[in-house]
Structure 1
Amino acid sequence: MLSIENRYAIDPMTARRFDSDELRKNFHVGGIFADGEIKLIYTHYDRMIVGGAVPAGGELVLDEVKHCGTASILDRREMVVVNIGAEGTVKAGETYAMAKGDMLYLGRGSGPVTFAGNGRFYILSAPAHKELPSRLVRIEDAARVDLGSQETSNERTIHQFVHPDVMESCQLVVGMTKLHNGSVWNTMPAHVHDRRMEAYLYIDLPEDQMAVHLMGEPTETRHLIVRNEEGAISPPWSIHSGAGSASYTFIWAMAGDNVNYKDVEMVGMGEIR
């Protein structure tokens, strides 16, 4: 079963007037992992698609998505699949066995995508201008960056999977950040990157805990409460940061004009309000 939700882009002046329900309707990502279903959100931020596929021991095939305007979803797109569950397989021409934490890049023209086994598959897709080889990237193949400290409660390790330091993609850049024990803040100090949007997914968060995802303009911040396997769509004009009531992991993905991860505009701690 395939279901698709359409999300239009929101400008910062409009977002300033949103209450909690409107913020969640436009920016919150939740309920995308359902047994026996593929659930997608088609965003109008750089045409990014985010979603989930849970074959629950069976098979699910992702092929035509009407919003893309092509016979098959990857005819003019690239895709990254992240397994956040038990072992499973993804087939797109070749069959790839995926353990928890593995990321699979599928290049343009890879054909229909079949999800099988007991994995919980997080799906990210964006338009692609050329064909590139598909590649399975495991955590030991990712580039590693250690940031933060215990003193500021943001000691974390960034694993860059689909990233210029690891492999070539058209515009998708995807990685995973793990908070160390006792640390709760991610992406702090905050930044923005007006040339591309970002999507977050929070995982490994205990069921009785939560994270507060910060968004909005640096001087007009808003927040979303997110639980395990929930996240946020972050517009190019928005900061994207957060703090949890327990340590967690989050998957970040960007699409837009520049794949240079360091191409950001920092926001000073004294600027945020």
Structure 2
Amino acid sequence: MIKTETRYAIDPATAKTLDTDQLRDHFHVAGLFTPGEINVVYSHYDRLILGSAVPNGSPLTLDHVEATGTQSFLERREMAVLNIGDTGTVSVDSTSHTIENGEVLYIGMGAGPVEFSGAGRYYLLSAPAHHTYPTTLIKIADARRVEMGSKEAANERVIIQLLHPDVCKSCQLLVGYTQFAEGSVWNTMPAHTHDRRMEAYLYFGMPEDARVFHLMGEPSQTRHIVMANEEAVISPPWSIHAGAGTSSYTFCWAMAGDNVDFTDMDMIAMGDLR
């Protein structure tokens, strides 16, 4: 079973007028990881698709999705699969890949149907592609690790870059995740925007009663969305994307847009935030 939802792009002036429920309707994504289902959310920001696949004793196949307007989901798209569950198997073009927790499978354009099985909880990210790159399993040992922050600033963390030009080629997808040391709760602060790329966050690895206050909006008009475990949020190119949690957590970040330069950011001075 494949469930599909569409989220339309809106401008920052409109976003200023939204109340809490309306803000969540446009940007917050809940209920992704439903046993026995594939869920797909089609965003009009750079046509990024985010979703999930959770086999429940039976394999799940991702192939035709009406929202893409193509016969096969990957006909004109690339995809990254992050496993946030136990060991599972993803089969692509007659080849099976065993994916451990924290690993990413990059799947190139034109690969055909994708089958998910095993005990994995698969987070899916897909963007339009213009070139075919090889399907590649990216293990944690292959990732580029960047340690940042400090205990004093409550933001001691490691950025694990998996789908990144230094690790694996892609057309426009960048994917990785950030893990926090115990006692650190602030992410992506000082804040930034990148007008040339949109972004999506998945918050996970959180206790059920924990929450992250995700900050978004223009620097002069910040808003917040309260996030629970395994919930995602869509970040427009014009918006900051930062947050603070009630406990340590992990978040997956994914970007799509004009380039794959991870450092292409427009930094926001702390004094300019409102």
User: Which category of TM-score, normalised to the shorter sequence, fits these structures?
Assistant: over 0.9
Q: Does 1:203 align with 2:225?
A: no
Given the two structures, how large is their TM-score scaled by the length of structure 2? Answer: 0.99
Give the counterpart letter for 1:143 in structure 2: R
Given the two structures, how large is their TM-score scaled by the length of structure 1? Answer: 0.99
Structure 2 match to 1:155: 156
Q: Secondary structure at the match of 1:24?
A: helix
Per-residue CA shift, 1:143-172, capped at 9, x if unaligned?
Answer: 010111111101110000000111110000
Structure 2 match to 1:191: 192
Give the distance between the partners of 1:108 and 1:180, measured in 2 at CA: 36
Structure 1 match to 2:13: 13
Give the counterpart letter for 1:74 in structure 2: L
Q: Which runs of 5+ in 2 are unaligned?
A: none
Shift of 1:207: 0.6
Structure 2 match to 1:123: 124
Q: Secondary structure at the match of 1:125?
A: strand
Per-residue CA shift, 1:154-208, capped at 9, x if unaligned?
Answer: 1110000000111110000001100111100011111000001000000101111
Q: Secondary structure at the match of 1:258?
A: coil
Q: Secondary structure at the match of 1:270?
A: helix
Give the distance between the partners of 1:139 and 1:95, measured in 2 at CA: 19
RMSD: 0.6
Q: How do residues 44-55 of structure 1 correspond to structure 2 at under 5 angstroms? A: 44-55=44-55
Give the counterpart letter for 1:19 in structure 2: D
Structure 1 match to 2:176: 175
Structure 1 match to 2:254: 253
Give the distance between the partners of 2:111 and 2:65, measured in 1 at CA: 15
Give the distance between the partners of 1:132 and 1:100, measured in 2 at CA: 23
Q: Secondary structure at the match of 1:97?
A: strand
Give the counterpart letter for 1:11 in structure 2: D
Shift of 1:139: 1.1
Paired residues in the alignment total 273
Give the distance between the partners of 2:19 and 2:34, measured in 1 at CA: 28
Per-residue CA shift, 1:83-141, capped at 9, x if unaligned?
Answer: 00111110111111011101000000110010001110000000000111010101111
Residues 56, 119 of structure 1: 8 Å contact kept: no
**Stretches of 4+ aligned residues off by more than 3 angstroms:** none
Give the distance between the partners of 1:140 and 1:248, measured in 2 at CA: 21
Q: Does 1:80 align with 2:80?
A: yes
Shift of 1:57: 2.4
Structure 2 match to 1:226: 227
Give the distance between the partners of 1:155 and 1:131, measured in 2 at CA: 37
Q: Which runs of 5+ in 1 are unaligned?
A: none
Structure 2 match to 1:97: 98
Q: Secondary structure at the match of 1:67?
A: helix
Give the counterpart letter for 2:82 in structure 1: V
